[in-house]
Amino acid sequence: MNTSKYFIQALIVVVFSTLSFLAFKTFLPKKIFPESTANSKNIVVDSLLLEALAEDGAIKEKDTLSNKTIDFKVVNGIKFPDETFDEYKGNQYLVTFFEKLFQLETKKQGNVRIAYFGDSMTDGDLIVKDFRTYLQERFGGQGVGFVNITSESASSRSSLTHEFSGNWKTQSYLKVKRPSRAFGVNGHVFFANDTSNVAWVKYKATKTKFASELPKPTLFYGSSSNKNGKVFYTVGSDTIFKKLSPNNTLNTLTLSEGNLKNIKVNFSKADSIPFYGFNFDDGKGVHVDNFSNRGNSGLPLGTFDTATMKAFHAKLGYDLIVLQYGANVLNYGTLDYTWYEKRMTKVVNHLKECFPGVSILIISTADKSTKYDLEMKTDSAVVPLNTAQKRYAIKSEASFVNIYTLMGGDGSMVKWVDEVPAKANKDYTHFNHRGAKEVANMIFNQINQGYETYKNLRKKRKPATPVKRDTVAVKKDSIHEE
């Protein structure tokens, strides 16, 4: 056999292929390979995002913010220093939230509640779990807060063991525009299809710090003409039956005034009654509810029913709403995110209407890497989206945490993936448990630094001018009673 002949032929093929690649390289797209699709089967882009792209994608607005100093207005005698666009944090818009923390820390009065809305970055209580722990370590509080009836991320949640029967019907604001009953604060509504088998849900506390028990388990459910529904569960050797009274827009049923290690709740004759979830908190300190939805852009929050949200607000009393979105908004054929800025400004204003008096905190998109010319680099859409998020935070008078810059800016996701041990997954988008904890610490530190500044400003503020008692008329219905 003439091996040299075959060797020369093979060499010619290799050389020809290499020259062809180099010749056509300039005509090939920069993104030769798609990003890792490890989690792609779980990602559903909400329809509102696609509609916004179609309607507002070509609309551009003149930039009036990037070269402007943000001049804050005095709130309760407090004024944080003015900020430039580049360094914007917006702690001024957390003044009322900081005051609640101050009363909690100094007088041990009241409690503070945070609703943390996010996408797959907070799936399984990632980031939120550690953020909650940091706050409870500082200000007190026990419990994981509000938990859904069912959850797509139940198996991956480490702060709680969550199981449920397969006969629940679920409606989500990512998939249903007109639900048969209004969505809850978690963006879901659940129905017990118990015609043949009893629907059930089970929660069990883990060894998570400040969440090793289930304090005061309380069921949240909506209105219905069904007056026959009931729940039953076992505590010790006793089986307890409780009737459901779905008379109001939002109803609650406390199953235990104490703390439990676990509870399995069965739902009987409860069809047509809308259920939302269970709340676990001790009523003291700080509580953080994780409302994560894979594939969420944040736009579905604009579909919340105002009356229903006000009913939740009356029961739970939110002081801060955190919005962490971006992973599902990147890479839709444009680097101009004016359309997203415009829509999310409306969403934030709608949330302020739904939850009167609440402060808003926007968490920016993190760094994300994409393959360009065979090398992983920061995706070209990250900075434009990050800028749009900061712009809508300023426009809607919300605070802002820039995770992209805090984690290192350009190229940082590659470093987080390559570190030993790694802090992010090989999809170059999502953090692992180690990275999530660090991100939570970044968010907590910025809030805590703002709070410490607030306390110093509070000491320096001028006392209010005393008003003669006989010239003041106080309306009884204006006083909030616990």
What pLDDT digit, counting tens, does each position of 302-361 carry?
A: 999 999 999 999 999 999 999 999 998 886 667 899 999 999 999 999 999 999 999 999
* Residue type (1 letter), 1: M
Query: What local confidence, expressed as pLDDT, does residue 316 receive?
Result: 98
Q: What is the band of 52 on the pLDDT scale with cuts at 50, 70, 90?
A: confident
When the pLDDT of each residue in the chain is averaged and rounded to a whole number, the result is: 87
pLDDT tens column, 61-91 = 666 677 788 999 999 999 999 999 999 999 9
* Residue 111 CB partners (closer than 8 Å, separation 6+): 104, 141, 281, 283, 284, 285, 286, 287, 317
d(CA 455, CA 476): 31
Angle CA 285–286–287, to nearest 5: 130
Instruction: Give domain status of residue 377, yes or no.
Output: yes
d(CA 448, CA 197): 49
Q: SS3 for 283?
A: coil
Q: What is the CATH number of the domain that holds 365?
A: 3.40.50.1110
d(CA 174, CA 191): 17
Query: What local confidence, expressed as pLDDT, does residue 62 receive?
Result: 65
d(CA 253, CA 242): 9
What's the rounded mean pLDDT across residues 10-35?
A: 50
Closest C-alpha among 101, 61, 55 to residue 287: 101
Instruction: Give domain status of residue 446, yes or no.
Output: yes
What's the rounded mean pLDDT across residues 401-426?
A: 97
d(CA 128, CA 124): 9
β-strand partners of 290:
116
Count of residues in the chain: 482
pLDDT top residue among 35 and 10: 10
pLDDT tens column, 230-276 = 999 998 888 999 999 999 999 999 999 999 999 999 999 999 999 99
Q: What is the band of 466 on the pLDDT scale with cuts at 50, 70, 90?
A: low
d(CA 110, CA 105): 10
Q: How many domains does the chain have?
A: 2
What's the rounded mean pLDDT across residues 395-400?
A: 97
- Quote the radius of gyration of the chain (alpha carbons, Å): 26
Instruction: Give domain status of residue 479, yes or no.
Output: no
Same domain flag for 257 and 277: yes
Closest C-alpha among 391, 368, 390, 398 to residue 380: 368
The whole-angstrom distance between residue 168's C-alpha and the CA centroid of its chain comes to 24
d(CA 400, CA 362): 5
With a cut of 70, say whether residue 107 has pLDDT above it.
yes
Same domain flag for 168 and 136: no
Same domain flag for 217 and 288: no
Looking at 239, 267, 282, the residue that finishes a domain is 282
Instruction: Give domain status of residue 480, yes or no.
Output: no
d(CA 253, CA 275): 11
Residue 75, CA distances (Å) to 79, 80, 92, 143 in order: 7, 10, 8, 32
Query: What local confidence, expressed as pLDDT, does residue 473 receive?
Result: 39
Same domain flag for 275 and 294: no
Query: What local confidence, expressed as pLDDT, does residue 474 receive?
Result: 36
Closest C-alpha among 324, 429, 318 to residue 369: 429
Helix, strand, coil abundance in the chain, percent, nearest 5: 35, 20, 45
Same domain flag for 251 and 301: no
Q: What is the band of 99 on the pLDDT scale with cuts at 50, 70, 90?
A: very high
Q: What is the CATH number of the domain that holds 180?
A: 2.60.120.1360
Question: Residue 21 is encoded by which pair of tokens?
Answer: 């690649």
Instruction: Give domain status of residue 370, yes or no.
Output: yes
Angle CA 390–122–350, to nearest 5: 50
With a cut of 90, say whether residue 398 has pLDDT above it.
yes
pLDDT tens column, 199-218 = 999 999 999 999 999 999 99
With a cut of 60, say whether residue 379 has pLDDT above it.
yes
β-strand partners of 425:
none
* Residue 368 burial (10 A CB sphere; 0-12, 13-18, 19+): buried
Same domain flag for 449 and 300: yes
Same domain flag for 295 and 255: no
What's the domain range around 410? Answer: 29-141+283-461
Same domain flag for 270 and 179: yes
d(CA 365, CA 400): 11
Same domain flag for 190 and 261: yes
Looking at 282, 311, 345, the residue that finishes a domain is 282
DSSP state letters, 88-111:
---GGGGHHHHHHHHHHHHH--SE
Question: Residue 215 is encoded by which pair of tokens?
Answer: 């304090």
Same domain flag for 40 and 183: no
Same domain flag for 297 and 275: no
Cβ(401)–Cβ(89) below 8 Å: yes
d(CA 285, CA 299): 31
Question: Residue 113 is encoded by which pair of tokens?
Answer: 């509640």
Same domain flag for 381 and 339: yes
**For 121-152, b where at least 16 C-beta lie within 10 A, e where not — what string?**
bbbbbbbbbbbbbbbbebbbbbbbbbbbbbbe
Query: What local confidence, expressed as pLDDT, does residue 235 receive?
Result: 87
* Residue 14 burial (10 A CB sphere; 0-12, 13-18, 19+): exposed
